[in-house]
């Protein structure tokens, strides 16, 4: 057990999927895993371990934002030995060709700051996904009949954004989507020599203000989980 995770040693698989929402962790485990067992519920942050196609997988909530994700990912890596960590979550579309329901693979994640920023001082470190996972996820997404994109994403610290001018600059420079966790995940994975990727479903759009109706979320999120699992064991 760690401060924030009640799982026993060995309860956590080497491959961990990381939704922000703990209830989505439960849904994904019930939908995709065989023999899923609840391994953490400290502070309501649900985590389940089961198998997918015979491979052990843990699906662990992270909460919203990089400070929360940083706590869970630090403990999953340092105390439980997680090797492959894939964020599965929602994001806001930032480009006209990135549509609601599309899946975005975060090749790199720009940010105004993460919990790790203090160690980098003047360096603008570029948080980057694991290339092998990215390539495998790209291949897994082909033929699914979904809009699939790979590129730069923005990991924001604020959902209610007071800097529309900053979004405009990112849009000018090709940033595909905004979410709130990937940059710190990529930095922690790099620090500890682990593999990480963010597979994101576009749930709303900053340009069109369209939002995915809740009854259509499940199918779209299902594609994302399938891509993440297929990539993890490719
Ligand atoms: N996650 C999903 N949509 C988002 C948005 N518009 N901003 C930040 N994070 C998000």
- Whether 96 is in a domain gets the answer yes
In a domain, 7, yes or no: no
- Per-residue model confidence as pLDDT tens digits over 147-199: 999 999 999 999 998 888 999 999 999 999 999 999 999 999 999 999 999 99
Going by pLDDT thresholds of 50, 70 and 90, the confidence category of residue 6 is very high
Measured between alpha carbons, how far is 62 from 42 in angstroms, rounded to an integer?
A: 12
Instruction: Answer whether residue 4 is part of any domain.
Output: no
Whose Cα sits closest to atom 7 in ligand 1?
Answer: 159
The CATH code of the domain that includes 171 is 3.40.50.1580
Residue 52, pLDDT above cutoff 80: yes
Whether 204 is a known active-site residue: answer yes
Q: Which atom of ligand 1 is nearest to the CA of 204?
A: 3
Specify if 162 maps to a domain. Answer: yes
Give the tens place of pLDDT for each residue, 223-233.
999 999 999 99
For the cut 90, the answer to whether the pLDDT of residue 118 exceeds it is yes
Q: Is 204 in the pocket of ligand 1 (CB under 6 A)?
A: yes
pTM over 0.90: yes
Could you tell me the CA-to-CA distances from 190 to 61, 113, 193 in Å, in that order? Answer: 21, 16, 5
Tell me the C-alpha to C-alpha distance, in Å, between residue 84 and each of 24, 127, 203, 231.
19, 16, 25, 10
| Residues whose CB falls within 8 Å of the CB of residue 73, separated by 6 or more in sequence, listed in order | 18, 62, 82, 85, 184, 185, 188, 189
* Total number of domains constituting the chain: 1
Contact status, residue 37 vs residue 24, Cβ threshold 8 Å: no
Alpha carbon distance 100, 187 (integer Å) = 27
Sign of CA dihedral 51, 40, 37, 200: negative
Residue 10 falls inside a structural domain:
no
226 lines ligand 1 (CB under 6 A): no
The answer to the question of whether 24 is labelled as a binding residue is: yes
The answer to the question of residue 121 being in a domain is yes
In a domain, 5, yes or no: no
| Residue 74 counted as domain residue | yes
> Closest Cα to residue 217, out of 24, 62, 60, 26?
24
Domain assignment of residue 132, given as a range: 15-232
Q: Give distance in angstroms: CA of 34 to centre of ligand 1.
A: 31
Cα 180 to middle of ligand 1, angstroms: 7
Residue 214: per-residue pLDDT: 77
Contacts of 12 (CB under 8 A, 6+ apart): 5, 39, 47, 49, 58, 60, 76, 80, 81, 82
């Amino acid at each position: 057990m760690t401060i924030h995770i009640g799982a026993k040693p060995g309860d956590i698989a080497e491959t961990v999927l990381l939704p922000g929402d703990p209830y989505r962790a439960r849904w994904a485990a019930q939908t995709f895993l065989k023999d899923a067992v609840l391994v953490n519920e400290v502070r309501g942050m649900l985590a389940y371990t089961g198998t997918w196609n015979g491979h052990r997988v843990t699906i662990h909530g992270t909460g919203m934002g990089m400070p929360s994700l940083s706590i869970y990912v630090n403990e999953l890596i340092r105390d439980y030995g997680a090797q492959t960590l894939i964020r599965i979550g929602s994001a806001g579309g930032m480009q006209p060709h990135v549509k609601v329901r599309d899946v975005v693979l975060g090749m790199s994640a720009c940010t105004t700051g993460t919990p790790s920023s203090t160690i980098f001082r003047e360096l603008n470190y570029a948080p980057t996904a694991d290339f092998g996972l990215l390539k495998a996820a790209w291949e897994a997404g082909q033929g699914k009949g979904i809009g699939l994109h790979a590129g730069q994403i923005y990991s924001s610290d604020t959902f209610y954004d007071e800097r529309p001018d900053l979004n405009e600059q990112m849009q000018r420079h090709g940033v595909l989507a905004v979410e709130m966790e990937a940059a710190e995940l990529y930095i922690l994975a790099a620090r500890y020599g682990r593999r990480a990727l963010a597979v994101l479903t576009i749930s709303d759009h900053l340009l069109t203000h369209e939002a995915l109706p809740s009854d259509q979320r499940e199918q779209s999120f299902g594609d994302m989980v399938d891509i993440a699992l297929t990539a993890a064991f490719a």
